[in-house]
C-alpha cells in the first residue's frame, strides 16, 4: 500500500531516515518477499541486515544485533537497486540539437544533477552515462558531487564527451556550416586522434570510452542501412588504449557492418544493437559482449515525433527492431538493460524492463540482465546487483511480485543506496 499524500510521503521519509538510518548502527529490513536474482528463488518473508554501507546477512529470518533498528516494509518485494547501462544525464525532452546549443554547460550541469536525483528516486542506484552531448567533462562534477553526498544520485560510470568522426552521428550536420556550430561529440578521424581524445578524456575524469560507430540510419524496403564510422582496426586501437589504464569502450552501433567491427574489436557493449548478423552474434557470445537494446527511447520517439512523418519512421524502425530482437534472444546472446533516457523524462526509464519482457524475455531474465549483467558491465561485479552478504547496500522495494508483473519496477516504493535510505513510501507495519 502506498501513501496518497505527497507531503506526508516526503515528511515521513525524512523522519524515518532520522529515526532509523542515521541513528542505528544496524538496520534490519523486513518485507513480505525477497528475490534471489541469480537463482530466481523468492524468499518469503525476506530480511536483510545492513551495517554501515554493506549488507551483512540475508534470509527469511535474520538476527538483529542489540541496538539495531527493525523496519517492516510490508507487502513488497526486496530487490537489488536497478541499473541503467545507457543514460544521458545532460539531455532532457526537446530538440536535442537546440538544447545543446542554446543551454550553457553550467545550466545543463544543474539539470543533470536534477536528472540524477530523479533516476535515483525511481530506484536506479547505478548508471552508466553515455556521453554528455557537448558538455565535455561536466559529468565528472556530477559523479564527484554524488560520491561526496553533496547531491543525491546513482553511483556513476561516466564517459565525458563521446567520440565521433567529422560529419558523423553527433556532428551539427543540420546547421549552416558557416556558423561553425560545434559537434555534440569529440572529433577523432584517425587512430592517432582516437588515442589523443581518449587520453584527454581520461585526464578529465572519464571512467570508460563512448564511441559512435554508426549513423545516419535509414530503412529501405524493410532493411536497415547505417554507415559505419570506424573500422575494426580503429576500434581495436581504442579498446587497446582504454585497456592500458584498465578501462573499456562502449559503442553506439545500430547495425552492420559497424556492429560486426565492434564485436571484432572486443568492445564492452554494443548499444542499440538493432541489426546483428549471425557472425556478429557468435562473436558476441564468444567474447561475452552484451547487447543493450534501448527500446524505451525508440518507443518514445515513435509516440512523440516532432512531425507525423518522424513518428511513422520511428514506428517502422521500432517494428524492425522488435523482429531482430527476437532473433537475438533465440541466438542466445547476452543483454544488459539500458534505456537511453534523457530524450525522454528521467525517472521513467523502468519502462525498458517492461518492453524487454513484452518483446520476448522472461521477467527473471530481464532482471538478471539488468542487475547481474549490468553490475559486470559497469565494473561493479561482486559489489552490487545481488542481495548478498558483503555487497553494497543498494536495495529497493516494489509492490507485488515482479516475476509475475515486471511493471512493479515502475512503482518503486523504497530506495536505499550505500546503506542510506533515500526514499520510503511504504506503510510500515510496526
- Residue 17: what pLDDT? 47
Tell me the C-alpha distance between 313 and 165, whole Å.
Answer: 25
Please name every residue paired with 417 in a beta bridge, in sequence order, or none if there are none.
420
Listed in sequence order, the residues at least 6 apart from 188 whose beta carbon sits closer than 8 Å to its beta carbon are 163, 164, 165, 194, 196, 197
Q: What sign has the CA pseudo-torsion 149, 155, 160, 161?
A: negative
**Per-residue confidence (pLDDT) for residue 81, from 0 to 100:** 98
> pTM of the prediction?
0.93
Q: Which residues contact 384 (CB under 8 A, 6 or more apart)?
A: 80, 81, 83, 125, 126, 155, 371, 375, 391, 392, 394
Looking up cell 548478498 gives 388
| Rounded (10°) angle between helices 258-265 and 232-244 | 40
DSSP string covering 342-362: SSS-TT-TTHHHHHHHHTT--
Percent of residues, the chain, with pLDDT higher than 90: 86
In the Cβ-directed half-sphere of 289, how many Cα atoms lie within 13 Å? 28
End-to-end CA distance of the chain, in Å? Answer: 14
pLDDT for 180: 78
Q: Is the pLDDT of residue 195 over 80?
A: yes
127-144 tens-digit pLDDT: 999 999 999 999 999 999
- Residue 95's pLDDT band (cuts 50, 70, 90): confident
- pLDDT of 4 above 50: no
Q: What is the mean pLDDT of residues 197-208?
A: 98
pLDDT of the residue at 182? 77
- What is the average pLDDT across 181-210? 94
- The pLDDT tens digits for 278-294 are 999 999 999 999 999 99
Residue 395: which of 129, 73, 87 has the closest Cα? 73
Res 74: pLDDT: 97
Per-residue pLDDT, averaged over 206-214, amounts to 98
Q: What would the mean pLDDT of 383-411 be, rounded to a whole number?
A: 98
pLDDT of residue 167: 85
For the chain, percent of residues with pLDDT exceeding 70: 93
| Higher per-residue confidence, 420 vs 100 | 420
pLDDT reported for residue 428: 63
- Tell me what pLDDT residue 303 has: 95
pLDDT over 60 (residue 125): yes
Decide if pLDDT at 302 tops 70.
yes
pLDDT at position 6 is: 38
Residue 5: pLDDT band with limits 50, 70, 90: very low
Q: What is residue 141's predicted lDDT score, i.e. its pLDDT?
A: 98
Beta strands in 46-176 (DSSP E): 46-51, 54-59, 69-72, 76-80, 82-87, 124-129, 155-158, 163-164
Instruction: Kindly report the average pLDDT of the chain as a whole number.
Output: 93
**pLDDT value at residue 19:** 37
Give the mean pLDDT of 247-256.
98
Asked if the model's pLDDT at residue 207 lies above 60, the reply is yes
Q: pLDDT tens, 22-74? A: 446 899 999 999 999 999 999 999 999 999 999 999 999 999 999 999 999 99
The DSSP bridge partners found for residue 36 are 41
Q: Which residues on neighbouring strands pair with residue 79, listed in sequence order?
A: 396
- Give the pLDDT of residue 262: 98
Contact 44, 57 (CB under 8 A): no
Amino acid at each position: 500500500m502506498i501513501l496518497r499524500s505527497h507531503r506526508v510521503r516526503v515528511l515521513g521519509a525524512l523522519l524515518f531516515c532520522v529515526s532509523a538510518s542515521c541513528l542505528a548502527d544496524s538496520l534490519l529490513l523486513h518485507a513480505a518477499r525477497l528475490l534471489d536474482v541469480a537463482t530466481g528463488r523468492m524468499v518469503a518473508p525476506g530480511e536483510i541486515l545492513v551495517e554501515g554501507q554493506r549488507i551483512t546477512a540475508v534470509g527469511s529470518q535474520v538476527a538483529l544485533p542489540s541496538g539495531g533498528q527493525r523496519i517492516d516494509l510490508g507487502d513488497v518485494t526486496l530487490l537489488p537497486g536497478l541499473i541503467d547501462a545507457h543514460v544521458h544525464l545532460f539531455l532532457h525532452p526537446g530538440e536535442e540539437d537546440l538544447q545543446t546549443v542554446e543551454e550553457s554547460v553550467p545550466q545543463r550541469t544543474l539539470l543533470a544533477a536534477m536528472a540524477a536525483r530523479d533516476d535515483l528516486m525511481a530506484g536506479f542506484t547505478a548508471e552508466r552515462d553515455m556521453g554528455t552531448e557537448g558538455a565535455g567533462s561536466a559529468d565528472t562534477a556530477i559523479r564527484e558531487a554524488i560520491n561526496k553526498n553533496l547531491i543525491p544520485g546513482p553511483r556513476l560510470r561516466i564517459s565525458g564527451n563521446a567520440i565521433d568522426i567529422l560529419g558523423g552521428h553527433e556532428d551539427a550536420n543540420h546547421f549552416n556550416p558557416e556558423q561553425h556550430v560545434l559537434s555534440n561529440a569529440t572529433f577523432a578521424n584517425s587512430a592517432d586522434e582516437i588515442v589523443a581524445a581518449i587520453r584527454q578524456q581520461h585526464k578529465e575524469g572519464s571512467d570508460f570510452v563512448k564511441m559512435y560507430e554508426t549513423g545516419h540510419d535509414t530503412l529501405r524496403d524493410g532493411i536497415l542501412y547505417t554507415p559505419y564510422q570506424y573500422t575494426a582496426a580503429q576500434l581495436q586501437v581504442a579498446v587497446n588504449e582504454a585497456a592500458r589504464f584498465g578501462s573499456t569502450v562502449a559503442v553506439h552501433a545500430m547495425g552492420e557492418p559497424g556492429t560486426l567491427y565492434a564485436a571484432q574489436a572486443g568492445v564492452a557493449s554494443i548499444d542499440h544493437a538493432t541489426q546483428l548478423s549471425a557472425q556478429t552474434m557468435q562473436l558476441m557470445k564468444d567474447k561475452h559482449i552484451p547487447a543493450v537494446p534501448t527500446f524505451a527511447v525508440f518507443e518514445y520517439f515513435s509516440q512523440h515525433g516532432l512531425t507525423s512523418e518522424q513518428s511513422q519512421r520511428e514506428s517502422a524502425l521500432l517494428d524492425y527492431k522488435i523482429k531482430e530482437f527476437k532473433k537475438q534472444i533465440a541466438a542466445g546472446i547476452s543483454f544488459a538493460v539500458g534505456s537511453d533516457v534523457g530524450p525522454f523524462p528521467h525517472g521513467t526509464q523502468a519502462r525498458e524492463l517492461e518492453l524487454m519482457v513484452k518483446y520476448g524475455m522472461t521477467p527473471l531474465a530481464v532482471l538478471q540482465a539488468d542487475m547481474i549483467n549490468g553490475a559486470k558491465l559497469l565494473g561493479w561485479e561482486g559489489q552490487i546487483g545481488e542481495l548478498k552478504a558483503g555487497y553494497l547496500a543498494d536495495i529497493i522495494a516494489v509492490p507485488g511480485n515482479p516475476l509475475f508483473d515486471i511493471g512493479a519496477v515502475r512503482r518503486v516504493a523504497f530506495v536505499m543506496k550505500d546503506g542510506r535510505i533515500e526514499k520510503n513510501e511504504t506503510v510500515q507495519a510496526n
